[in-house]
Structure 1
Amino acid sequence: MTEPVLTMAMSESDRTQKLLSGARRLPGFGLEARHETIEQIFIEQISNAAYDISELSLASYLIAKGGGDERLTAVPVFLSRAFRHNAIYVRADSPWRHPSELKGRRFGFPEYQMTAAVWVRGLFREEWGIGTDDMEWFTFRPERVPVDIPATLAEGDLFEALLEGRVDAVMSARRPPAKFFPASGDGGAIRRLMPDVWDEERAYYGRTGIFPIMHLVSLKADTVRRYPELPRQLYDLMLGVKNDGVAALLETIKNQTSDPWLWESVERSALLTDGDLWPYGVAANWPQIVKFMGYLRADGLLKRELALEEVFHPSVLHT
């Protein structure tokens, strides 16, 4: 019997590369990898449920679920996590050195609802004492899920708007272009807001235990109805791929990246995280997702907190 072939769209990382290349297989299924930008993957999946399996913005998924969209389900595989303190930028000549100084300023995001933006506004409220009404917000592309937002949709490029003085600070998950922000992070027309940002992030993690989730893995509900064993099989497979990827980072016979001090970084991260650098599963992550839903509600993007059973497929609730 011919194996069913499932479409799959994910960004490439040590958490996905073996799946995308076919080096690791999902028993009983063929996987057809679709190669798109992460922004295009999100738009196609949240708008059209275009892929059987797809990486997806945590915020967009929860907002859609909260609005009654049942076309997707998910497993607690978190392909992107990132501290976003380092993603706040100002002009090099800016007088500001800390987010608490930005009250009343003009702040730009690519999108208001994007997961990184939700985390940053939560940080403004909880960590830096600035409420949603204390800032003037601007966005630079249409929202991927229709939502009412207190932001002005601006024209042009986010970083050019910053350099032109149309906004005072921005948050961007993507690094500014090298012509504005060199590899060292120093000496360009744009700089990070906080000079000691890496220490700020480690201190935040030490206080909260939160390594912010950005993306999860979604599955088309119609596909799961045909193959109810799929979500748990996929979770188990992707957990193994991630664990193998972390182990490879520690293999000193060959550096897995072009970073000369990779092993120092990984060992330091392992110490700070009690050995689980990149946790998957419900038990380790549900409290953080509940907190994130609180941020969505404070932003007016989610009307109620979703139950665990609404967010993840039943087969993975005890992971």
Structure 2
Amino acid sequence: MTEPKLTIAMSESDRTLKLLSGARRLPGFELEAKHETVEQIFINQISQAMYDVSELSLASYLIAKGGGDDRLTAIPVFLSRSFRHNAIYVRADSPWRHPSELKGRRFGFPEFQMTAAVWVRGMFREEWGIAEGEMQWFTFRPERVPVQIPATLTEGDLFEALVDGRVDAVMSARRPPANLFPASGEGGVLRRLLPDAWDEERAYYDRTGIFPIMHLVSLKAETVERFPDLPKRMYELLLGIKDEGIAGLLETIKNNTSDPWIWESVERSSRLMNDDIWPYGAEANWAQIVKFMGYLREDGLLGRELAPEEVFHASVWNT
């Protein structure tokens, strides 16, 4: 008997590679991995619901849901989480050393609604004392979900605009090119705004308990109607792969990465985060999602706070 085929689209990491490579299967299904950039995956899924299962921007998913788009549901598998203190850049000759010094300045994002940008604007307001309307926002690509934004869409490259002085600072989830920002993080045309970004991030987590969610896993609603147990089974499969990936980081007979001090880093993170360095599940993460929805509402991107049953499939509410 031929197994039903599901299309899956995710970026590669220790949280997904076993699934994408076929090393781990979902019994009863044939999984067809689609290989695209994460940005293209988001565009395809949010605009066309192209994949049965895909990684998706938390912000775009919530904005679409808040606008009444029910083509997708989701599970609390967060394939990307990242602190973004380290992702704010200025020119090396800039006088600024802290976000609070950027009031009134010209600030660039790749896209206004991208999840990282929402977190950073929320931190400008809540952490760094710069109110809405006290910054000039610029973006460098069209919005993937049509929304009204208080930003100027600008032609060209984000980092080139920073180098040329068309903006004063930028936030980018992608690292600047090596010719502008060397591997050491020092001596380039650009530098991080915060000289001690990594310590700032640990202090932020210690104070708030927030390890910012960037991406979740979406499922096509019509596929879930055909296979109602798919969300819970996919959640359990991806949870297991993630736990195996973290265990692999601590394997000392061989280093699974090319970082000489990865074990020190994982141990330090485990001490700070009470041994759960990458939490999945609705219950452990719902307060953070509520916080993020508040940021979306302050940005004018979400009209109301969504309930858990609107965000996640019923089978995973209690995870």
Residue 101 (structure 2) pairs with residue 105 (structure 1)? no
Where 1:76 maps in the other structure, the secondary structure is strand
RMSD after superposition: 0.3
Residue 2 (structure 2) pairs with residue 2 (structure 1)? yes
Take 1:231 and 1:140, find their aligned partners in 2: how far apart are those partners?
Answer: 35
Q: Which residue of 2 aligns with 1:314?
A: 314
Q: Which residue of 1 aligns with 2:150?
A: 150
Take 1:146 and 1:303, find their aligned partners in 2: how far apart are those partners?
Answer: 14
Take 1:2 and 1:315, find their aligned partners in 2: how far apart are those partners?
Answer: 26
Take 1:37 and 1:31, find their aligned partners in 2: how far apart are those partners?
Answer: 19
How many residues in Structure 1 have an aligned counterpart in Structure 2?
319
Where 1:45 maps in the other structure, the secondary structure is helix
Q: Which residue of 1 aligns with 2:164?
A: 164
Take 1:125 and 1:233, find their aligned partners in 2: how far apart are those partners?
Answer: 39
User: Cα deviation per residue 1:154-188 (whole Å; 9 max; x = unaligned)?
Assistant: 01000000000000000000000000000000000
Alpha-carbon offset, residue 53 of structure 1? 0.2
State the one-letter code of the partner of 2:240.
G
Residue 231 (structure 2) pairs with residue 216 (structure 1)? no
State the one-letter code of the partner of 1:35.
H
Residue 284 (structure 2) pairs with residue 260 (structure 1)? no
Take 1:130 and 1:145, find their aligned partners in 2: how far apart are those partners?
Answer: 26
Residue 70 (structure 2) pairs with residue 74 (structure 1)? no
Q: Which residue of 2 aligns with 1:187?
A: 187
Take 2:22 and 2:120, find their aligned partners in 1: how far apart are those partners?
Answer: 36
Take 1:240 and 1:131, find their aligned partners in 2: how far apart are those partners?
Answer: 42
Take 1:130 and 1:31, find their aligned partners in 2: how far apart are those partners?
Answer: 47
State the one-letter code of the partner of 1:68.
G
Q: Which residue of 1 aligns with 2:240?
A: 240
- 1:1-319 equivalent positions in 2, closer than 5 A: 1-319=1-319
State the one-letter code of the partner of 1:69.
D
Give unpaired runs (5+ residues) of structure 1: none
Take 1:213 and 1:220, find their aligned partners in 2: how far apart are those partners?
Answer: 21
Where 2:31 maps in the other structure, the secondary structure is strand
Alpha-carbon offset, residue 131 of structure 1? 1.4
Take 2:230 and 2:217, find their aligned partners in 1: how far apart are those partners?
Answer: 12
Where 1:285 maps in the other structure, the secondary structure is helix
Take 1:238 and 1:178, find their aligned partners in 2: how far apart are those partners?
Answer: 33
Take 2:10 and 2:50, find their aligned partners in 1: how far apart are those partners?
Answer: 13
User: Cα deviation per residue 1:216-262 (whole Å; 9 max; x = unaligned)?
Assistant: 00000000000000000000000000000000000000101000000
Alpha-carbon offset, residue 132 of structure 1? 2.1
After superposing on structure 2, the runs of 4+ consecutive aligned residues of structure 1 that deviate more than 4 Å are none
User: Cα deviation per residue 1:3-41 (whole Å; 9 max; x = unaligned)?
Assistant: 101000000000000000000001111100000000000
Aligned-pair identity (%):
80
Take 2:22 and 2:245, find their aligned partners in 1: how far apart are those partners?
Answer: 15
Take 2:28 and 2:235, find their aligned partners in 1: how far apart are those partners?
Answer: 14
Where 1:132 maps in the other structure, the secondary structure is coil
Take 1:256 and 1:267, find their aligned partners in 2: how far apart are those partners?
Answer: 15
Query: TM (normalized to structure 1)?
Result: 1.00
Take 2:27 and 2:168, find their aligned partners in 1: how far apart are those partners?
Answer: 51
State the one-letter code of the partner of 1:140.
F
Take 2:83 and 2:15, find their aligned partners in 1: how far apart are those partners?
Answer: 18
Query: TM (normalized to structure 2)?
Result: 1.00
State the one-letter code of the partner of 1:55.
E
